[in-house]
Amino acid sequence: MSGDRPGVPADSTAVDGGYVPGYFQTRLAPNARRTKVWQHICAYLQRWISPDSDVLELGAGWCDFSNSVRARRVVAMDLDAAVSRAAAGHVTPVVGDSTDLRQFEDGSFDVVFASNLLEHLERTAASRLLSEARRVLRPGGRLLLLQPNFRLNPGRYFDDFTHVAIYTDVSIRDYLTAEGWTVTNVKARFLPLTLQSRAAGLTFLVPWYLRSPVRPLAGQMLVVAAR
């Protein structure tokens, strides 16, 4: 049982397929290079995140985004208790279900961010997450999503055994619109599908990659939507 593994709460076995014990030791094993990569990614994302924003990261994992983003207040939420150990001193860690945000008041955040999360959730859970994200955002607040883009790399999409839903740059726009969001920006080719490669060590190239109109090996998309 998951509760027998140190650092994992007993009630964190699964939420609609969203959590699998041992996942952090396989697909999300610690990687020192990730911190440098995420510093560059966050620098790029700051155009949608004001330094005086209140930011909530869902499915925060090792807090790669939360620890690097510049904001007035950062809350990192994940089912795995690793989030508490990974959070930097200025980040508030919360162990809990990202589809249930009842502990947060209406309109308490300016930005909700999630990286590689929706594809792990069944549709009912994903819709619940999107509804809760809209509720906790202030008027004019933004939802930022990093997602694998199935259209770009279908052959490797299910190399991650916890993927249960498929999204493309077209379907994610339609889905968010149907859920009441206004999609303002979709970058179909944003990042490589995975950072688990030898090329990931070339972190100094990340800013160039993000500025380049040509992005080889791209497999992830960026989606920005307004409440």
Share of the chain above pLDDT 90, in %: 69
- Give the span between the Cα atoms of 121 and 212, in whole angstroms: 32
- Give the span between the Cα atoms of 2 and 50, in whole angstroms: 38
Report which secondary-structure segment, H or E, holds 189.
strand 182-192
Which of 89, 91, 68, 134 shows the shortest CA–CA distance to 77? 91
Tell me the backbone φ, ψ of residue 135, rounded to 5 degrees: -65, -40
**Single pTM value for the model:** 0.84
Q: In the chain, which residue ranges form alpha helices assigned H by DSSP?
A: 32-45, 64-68, 82-86, 123-136, 169-178, 206-211
Q: What is the pLDDT of residues 121-161, one digit of tens each?
A: 999 999 999 999 999 999 999 999 999 999 999 998 998 88
Q: What is the pLDDT of residues 157-183, one digit of tens each?
A: 998 889 999 999 999 999 999 999 999
- Top CATH class, 2-226: alpha beta
